[in-house]
Amino acid sequence: MTRDRNVSIFEGLRYQGGGPQTAWLLHRISGLGIVLFVTTHILASFLGGDLGKLFNAVYISWWFQIFIIFCALFHGINGLRITLLDLWPKLLEYQREAIWVEWFVILPIFGVAIIVILNTAVGG
Amino acid sequence: MRSRSRTLPLNKRGMNFETLMWLFTRLSALAMYLFMVVAIIGALIMGARTQMNLADVLRWAFTPNVTHVQSTNVLELDSWATPFWKALASLMVFTAAAHGLHGLLSVLDDYFAQPWVRTLFRVIITILLPILPGIGIYVIWTS
């Protein structure tokens, strides 16, 4: 069936999917980011030692905190949108509007988080 | 012109393992929201209003593991180290790992079509599923 799709990654990126495609792509990237973070975090807390210290040094850095807070926020809120619309399929007609609402929720929280993280990083 | 609804009734859709995992992904997302709400309520009961800043509350929200807050200004850690909070944290870790590992598998399925590669990934993920949360739960109960 759909096993032999010959779509390259560049053709895929040219697909004009708009908001829903952006949400799909970011959901995928943020999900992988969280899996990577939680896996290394569990291993670091289990192993300890130099490797654990190395992982912890990465978590403490401001750029990683900004990245992971975006992953968690976007994945959580976009996932809530997917869950609600999938479990009540009648709402799927309003998918684009739901994605706009989502950004209105995510961006202010993310902005505040960036300010807090940078303040802490600069101010100590 | 109104498009016809494409939603099939449940009994005509057929239920296989992948469909169940599709449902599990949604329900586990809701479950993790529930765990976070319980953790935040617990934090508020145990003095979050006076002892914690927002970052500390967030640490509690993502599994109340005692080692998560050793560096914060929460004075009393014992009330968090009860079996109830450890059990909740263990549930959170297991739900998150199952949700995440299955998500990883569905991402991999989108880029690898050969049946033996897909089987290989399924074997690897199935092996990881008890091991990774097992390590996390071990850390929760021994720290």
Chain B neighbors of A30, CB-CB under 8 A: none
pLDDT at A107: 93
Nearest to B36 by CA among B56, B60, B68: B60
Domain count, chain A: 1
Task: Point out the residue among A28, A76, A120 whose CB comes nearest to the CB of B107.
Answer: A28
Alpha-carbon span A39 to A41, nearest angstrom: 5
Find, in chain B, the residue whose alpha carbon is nearest to that of A36: B100
pLDDT at B54: 72
What domain range is A78 assigned to?
A: 19-123
B8 touching A (Cβ < 8 Å): no
Nearest to A78 by CA among A28, A124, A23: A23
pTM: 0.83
Chain A neighbors of B103, CB-CB under 8 A: 31, 35
Residue pairs spanning A and B at CB distance below 8 A: 49
Is A12 a member of any domain?
no
ipTM computed for the complex: 0.82
CATH code where residue A24 lies:
1.20.1300
Kindly state the average pLDDT of the residues A5-28: 79
pLDDT digits over B28-81, tens only?
A: 999 999 999 998 888 888 777 777 777 777 777 776 677 666 666 666 677 778
Distance from CA of B142 to the nearest CA of A (A): 10
Domains with residue ranges and CATH for chain B:
16-142 (1.20.1300)
Higher-scoring residue by pLDDT: A73, A46: A73
Q: Cα B75 from chain centroid?
A: 28
Is A10 a member of any domain?
no
